[in-house]
Amino acid sequence: MTLSKFSSLGIKPAILKTIQNLGYEAPTPIQAMCIPVLLSGKNLLGTAQTGTGKTAAFALPLLSQLDDKQETPQILVLTPTRELAIQVAEAFQSYARNVSGFQVLPIYGGVDISVQLRGLKRSTQVVVGTPGRILDHLRRRSLNLSQIKTLVLDEADEMLRMGFIDDVEKILSQTSIECQRALFSATMPSRIKNIADTYLGDAQHVSISAKTRTVAQIKQNYLTLRSHQKLDALTRILEVEPFDGMLIFVRTKSATLEIAEKLEARGYTSAALNGDLSQSAREGTLKRLKQGSLDIVVATDVAARGLDVKRISHVINYDVPYDNESYVHRIGRTGRAGREGRAIIFVTQKESRLLRSIEKSTRQRIVPFKLPSSSEVRDLRIQQITERLVRTSKKPELTKFRALVDSISAQNGIDATEIAAILIYEGQKDRPIFPTNINCDIKHGDTFLTQKLKKRNKSTSANSAHGPSDSCRSKHPLKRKVTKNQSKKRYFVPNDVSSNIKMLKYRIEVGRDDGITAANIVGAIANEAGIQSHYIGQIKLQKNFSTVHLPEGMPRQLFTHLRKVKIRQKELKISLINS
């Protein structure tokens, strides 16, 4: 279908102004299809992978229908994990920056509930939360769903996998018949289909199929880093990667200008390509790229449609694309005419799920990229400046400049060596000769195919757990000390991929008589304590207790936290079994 502009979809002017300021040019397919349905008040059943832009697909129309006079929550979004709850809440906050008095509250377990109780007493329009903690608030009567106008189930199949689907049904049953409902799921297992039939009635079905398939001759890499590290990382890649022409993809029009200007300041011939450019300006930029007078183009997806320049050897996904189809479209700009291409994607901690979704839909592994070390960059920059100085030293025009140096030296008492050092220092600009380390210590889980390859190659997969292959991590994370900030996040991701992780057996004080399943245990530990599900080993249910295998080396702070985590309102009270 032809994508319409956001302005034609009926979005509230204040919301439209925000997304225009953010530089969004056109809705993704799922946004173009879902926004009119939700604005009309109909129920919606969406089948779409992570990374298709579905958060904006429901956030934008729902924000457009907020009632300024209602003081109780109007929108409830259920997510399977705390990370997704935070991500969705931040998206709502970002889109509603021009909505006066807007409040969104993320609700999830593993944190002090008093903060959430105070938040619910304020005029909060949107609540985003995990099923277990939402139910907890319903039991406390701190949350009332009677006036909820729209309920969204995000990643319903993931909630089923993690054992939360019974909780989801309990929450759905407490909403009014008039409540609008939207359910998004990458797959549609029978249990999810039954829920849709029961609670969504004659919902309009929107499906975004995954047709993606990448080109075999494109070498794909990812680099994990923080947002503020992207420009320095990009500069290092430009210095050490031999490239002919390069496309750098960003999400917004303003980013194309900003990054192109910064690259120009660092000595690279670059230009922006976005929807605001006239056709003649766009054609001029592409002509320069084809002819070789321009090496780097920073572009948005819309501006780069149909772009075919054979000399493009590298594509950098500076920002993760909104959907998987866009990723394939982007990297398809390289590897043309049978040539080998290179694609690198920058991924922040919050976007690790999008990376796994891209890998799953393309059925190709994206491997870690090893960023050049500071010493490698230093040596290269010293070599470059040395070569430049040697070349310039042979020019006859230097005679009057030598006289100038002698004059400055005599008048100010500064010798020539000091003057040379000052000039080199001043000439560094944004490319320091002695750069600092880019400490990429982001905690990511394995990508989708990495997990599958490990399971295939390990005969004892139930009791072996391998962690991320992030090239920027420390070699022995299980032995590292947990800092104050780390303990708050409670990340525990074993990542020694050279040998099997030793698994220890623990006892938890919940069992079959409490009405729990193994999926409930996996869900509680994975969601409430931040341990990823593929690091949770064998589980055995007994009458009034259960046992679970977890990786050796669990930090004390996390162990203490796990003791207080609840399943069916009973604390785990986890303890190590010495066997």
What pLDDT score does 431 carry? 66
Q: At what angle do helices 113-121 and 131-140 cross, to 10 degrees?
A: 60
Question: Is residue 435 in a domain?
Answer: no
* CATH assignment at residue 326: 3.40.50.300
Are 415 and 509 in a shared domain? no
Which of helix, strand or coil describes residue 24? Answer: coil
Query: Which residues are within 8 A (CB) of 246 and not within 5 positions of it... i.e. 6 or more apart?
Result: 238, 295, 296, 297, 312, 313, 314, 315, 316
Kindly state the average pLDDT of the residues 429-454.
53
Does residue 564 share a domain with residue 536?
yes
Q: Is residue 151 part of a domain?
A: yes
- Write down which residue in 187, 207, 227 finishes a domain: 207
Domain membership flag for residue 442: no
Among 146, 180, 207, which residue terminates a domain? Answer: 207
Task: Tell whether 440 is covered by a domain.
Answer: no
| 139 and 249 housed in the same domain | no
pTM: 0.52
- Residue 428 above 80 pLDDT? no
In a shared domain, residues 155 and 294? no
How many structural domains are present in the chain? 4
Is position 563 within any domain? yes
Please classify residue 384 by burial: count the beta carbons closer than 10 Å to its beta carbon, then call 0-12 exposed, 13-18 middle and 19+ buried: middle
Show which of 149, 175, 207 is a domain's final residue.
207
Q: Are residues 82 and 22 in the same domain?
A: yes
User: Does residue 499 carry a pLDDT above 60?
Assistant: no
For residues 265 and 364, membership in a common domain is answered with yes
Give the model's pLDDT for residue 568. Answer: 73
Closest to 182 (Cα-Cα) out of 58, 56, 12, 53: 58
Whether residue 432 lies inside any domain: the answer is no
Is the pLDDT at 216 greater than 80? The verdict is no
| Shared-domain flag, residues 49 and 141 | yes
Does residue 327 contact residue 321 with C-beta atoms inside 8 Å? Answer: yes
437: in domain: no
First to last CA, the chain: 61
More confidently predicted of 536 and 64: 64
55 and 203 together in one domain: yes
Most confident option among 158-162, 306-310, 428-432, 483-487: 158-162
Q: 395 and 482, same structural domain? A: no
Domain that residue 201 falls in:
6-207
Three-class SS of residue 59? helix
17 with 144, same domain: the answer is yes
Shared domain for 488 and 462, answered yes or no, is: yes
DSSP letter string, 80-122: SSHHHHHHHHHHHHHHTTTSTT--EEEE-SSS-HHHHHHHHHS
pLDDT computed for residue 489 by the predictor = 38
Residues 456 and 532 in one domain: yes
Angstrom distance (rounded) from CA 319 to CA 231: 11
In CATH, what number is assigned to the domain containing residue 549?
3.30.70.330
Average pLDDT, the chain: 80
Three-class DSSP category at 507: strand
Q: Is residue 443 in a domain?
A: no
